[in-house]
Amino acid sequence: METLDLNQPQLYINRELSLLEFNVRVLAQAKKEDIPLLERLNYLCISCSNLDEFFEVRVASILQMANIDPDAAGSDGLTPAQQLEQIDVKAHQLVADQYKVLNELLIPQLEKENIHFVRRDHWSAKQREWLEEYFHEALMPILTPVGLDSAHPFPRILNKSLNFIISLTGKDAFGRNSGRAILQAPRALPRIIQLPREVNKDDGHYFVFLSSIIHGFVNELFNGMSIKGCHQFRVTRNSDFFVDDDAIDDLLHAVEGELAMRNYGDEVRLEIDGKCPDETIDFLLSHFSLSRDRLFLAHGPVNLNRIQSIYGLIDRPDLKFAPFKPATPPQLGRSKDLFAAIRKQDILLHHPFESFSPVIEFIRQAAADPDVLAIKQTLYRTGVNSPIVSALIKAALAGKAVTVVIELRARFDEKDNIDLASKLQEAAVHVVFGVVGYKTHAKMCLVLRREGKVLLNYVHLGTGNYHPKTAQIYTDYGLFSCNKELGEDVRRIFVQLTSLGKVPQLHKLLQSPFTLHKGLIEKIEREIQHAKEGKAAKIIIKVNAIVEDQSIHALYRASQAGVEVKLIVRGVCCLRPGIKGVSENIEVRSIVGRFLEHTRVYAFANRGEWEVYCASADLMGRNMFRRVETCFPIENKKLHDRILHDLNSYLKDNAQAWLLQSDGSYKQIERKDSEESFQAQTELLKELSY
């Protein structure tokens, strides 16, 4: 039998197109009548925020590649120009759908709930009077219009800032005919303003966009001249930055230097008021050196994700998800001594269904415990004001040896991480910035405690960041353990991160960039061999993305050998399921619900003796080869079975699940009339209510 070439481009979905498909699924949540109305508005805003990052990072990198190597192609065979052509079609359709959802679905339904976005032509006399006063007192003093002439060149436009291009007629103060002016709205200004009750006709919620107020009173900024047109616009810039690892002496200073330029990277997208005349559009496109396919017309505010602020301004529990209290496992709830509880047995937390508080308390108790000698922790995204940071500082001030590995290059959190490093260093915490050339993405904490004549290693390993806020909305697993070999593995990795020395063979952990990729491939190959021998063979993988070629090859071979492969992939998936002779035995589903699915789990049937691993890494090349990651086994039978139960719940989901088709599109699972609705996240909320 002839071996099929698994490198054929038609076997792979383009990464960027797959990412756009994810945003289509997010936007679809905004259309669902069974989701509370303000939550639907949130989903719309999230899809817009995601699209911003898509252009800032992904499209920007493709545009750069188009200049550097126009013939370059990935596994899918698409050149940069071909990718941009297809992105152009899908992105424009997505933006059109976003404004359609806002204008035709959400705004009318919000109005029925007495929540209004008041347009300029609908302002009442009282509202106009209040808004005019607001303009004069809160806006006008800090607005700086710039008339364009040889002495006033086009100002530098900040990335994603709100701006206005104004067409003028009449003579200025110096007797010259004016043509155009640019007005930038400072970022400190709120983009949506709530009108006070006394100016409204009832007790409803009335909001006005900042852009509407500026449009309404912009003429007062140009005395003696007439406003022919005023149109809002926004520019998206390349926000990814490059640090040459081979040419820097100080990573901190290098990152600080690049951050200063992030707001002024190359232009990649222009958004502008859909009513703007072509002449003005062409003027802006020419100035920013953008082609028409980088132009997006806005039929509403140019920055839809700013609408998200009204969620916190409206006290309407009936229009939001029902609140819930994260559970605490009984073994932790009964014990005030976390170390005693962990010493007794491994403990698994599943956030946000279970509280993140035990993780914070673990570090707090370590900081206060006189028997704790050292604390070592990785921080990727956590926030300067995190209670975890406070506990680490207290530990250092108490004389404990505290080491923190901070990843400065966590995208869009670089500034916070630089500030965090300074704060920790001031408290005599030993701060290192990982390994040059490799992001430290592992989530791990080690506490070294003296108990009698022995030193015990207590560890926490997770699939997500040490961030209390995201732990409320991201699903992640966290494992507490006092296992000797596991603790020794974590200790060795920390030593490697600080000393840069080679690590002896690890007992239990798989670690990238060294053993993780190889270890996962070996486990897939083992399932292939079991299938060939007629034994139980099955693979369940739950990750955020599947991109890496060799992993996809291995999964294709598994399917060809008859291994049942179930993939739960939240976002990007470059693997094509359902291709005859290649991937008939592979199912790929995506769960989009109340919580952002973030857990990474790798499970292998192993002839009925299931092996379950949790990890900080997705199946992406960067995670396997360019990052420091950890993948840890779940060996406690009860916890092991619990994760398998969770995975099966996701595989049973018939309400929030989407199935990937072989053409790269997704279809939401349609429930049969006889089937009851089953939502995995809802069931987990019920099951983990202790």
The residue among 5 and 345 whose pLDDT is bigger is 345
pLDDT in tens, 482-510: 999 999 999 999 999 998 778 778 999 99
Active site residue 116: no
Token pair 């209004």 in the structure block, residue: 116
Structure tokens at 409: 């290059």
* Other residues' Cβ atoms within 10 Å of the Cβ of residue 307: 22
Provide the mean pLDDT of the chain: 91
Closest residue by Cα to residue 351 from 216, 186, 473, 193: 473
At 330 the pLDDT is 86
Q: Which CATH number fits domain 9-319: 3.40.50.300, 3.40.50.1370, 3.30.1840.10, 3.30.70.20?
A: 3.30.1840.10
Nearest 5 degrees, angle CA 494-CA 496-CA 498? 70
Residue with tokens 């090349």: 621
Percent of the chain with pLDDT over 90: 80
Sign of CA dihedral 159, 161, 167, 168: negative
Task: Assess contact for 393 and 429: CB atoms under 8 A.
Answer: yes
- pLDDT at position 240 is 75
pLDDT number for residue 175: 58
Is there a contact between 490 and 413 (Cβ–Cβ < 8 Å)? Answer: no
Q: What gap in Å lies between CA 576 and CA 662, rounded to an integer?
A: 5
Percent of the chain clearing pLDDT 70 (strictly above): 93
pLDDT in tens, 141-199: 999 999 887 667 899 999 999 999 999 987 666 556 668 999 999 988 999 999 999 99
Structure confidence at residue 243 (pLDDT): 46
| Longest CA span, the chain | 91
Where are the strands (E) in 133-175, listed by range?
146-147, 163-169
Kind and range of the H or E run holding 339: helix 338-344
Rounded Cα distance, 114 and 203, in Å: 8
Give the C-alpha distances (Å, rounded to integers) separating 545 from 570, 600, 618, 621, 677.
7, 10, 6, 10, 26
- Most confident segment among 158-172, 232-246, 416-430, 437-451: 437-451
Ranges of CATH 3.30.870.10 domains, the chain: 330-508, 512-687
Residue 437 pLDDT grade (very low, low, confident, very high; cuts 50, 70, 90): confident
Query: In the predicted model, is pLDDT for residue 408 greater than 90?
Result: no
DSSP 470: G
Domain boundaries for CATH 3.30.1840.10 within the chain = 9-319
Residue 326 C-beta-side C-alpha neighbours within 13 Å: 18
The token pair that represents 283 in the structure block = 């003027």
- List the catalytic residue out of 351, 441, 460, 467: 441
Residue 259 has pLDDT above 60, yes or no: no
Both tokens assigned to 507: 């007992």
pLDDT of residue 245: 47
- pLDDT, position 244: 46
562 Ramachandran zone, left/alpha/beta (phi>0; psi -120 to 50): left
Residue 115 has pLDDT above 60, yes or no: yes
| pLDDT, tens digit, 9 for 90 and up, residues 454-467 | 999 999 999 999 99
Split at pLDDT 50, 70, 90, the class of 536 is confident
**Residue 660 host element (H or E):** strand 657-660
Cβ neighbours of residue 466 closer than 8 Å, sequence gap 6 or more: 359, 377, 378, 379, 380, 382, 386, 388, 443, 445
Element (H, E) at 256: helix 251-259
Amino acid at 650: Y
Residue 2 pLDDT:
44
Residue 530 in contact with residue 536, Cβ under 8 Å?
yes
Cβ contact 459:481 at 8 Å: yes
How far apart CA 34 and CA 31 sit, in angstroms, is 9
Residues paired with residue 448 on neighbouring β-strands, in sequence order: 374, 457
CA separation for the pair 80, 60 (Å, rounded)? 11
CATH number of 330-508: 3.30.870.10
Place of tokens 């976390």: 338
The dihedral over CA atoms of 639, 645, 650, 653, expressed in degrees to the nearest 10, equals -150
Confidence of residue 5 (pLDDT cuts 50, 70, 90): confident
pLDDT at 248: 44
Q: What is the mean pLDDT of residues 656-671?
A: 95
∠ Cα 649 17 474 (to 5°) = 35
* Entry field: residues in the chain: 690
Quickly tell me which residue has 């920390």 as its tokens: 494
Read off the DSSP letter of residue 187: T
Would you state the pLDDT for residue 1?
34
* Distance in angstroms (rounded) separating the CA atoms of residues 404 and 375: 8
* Top CATH class, 512-687: alpha beta
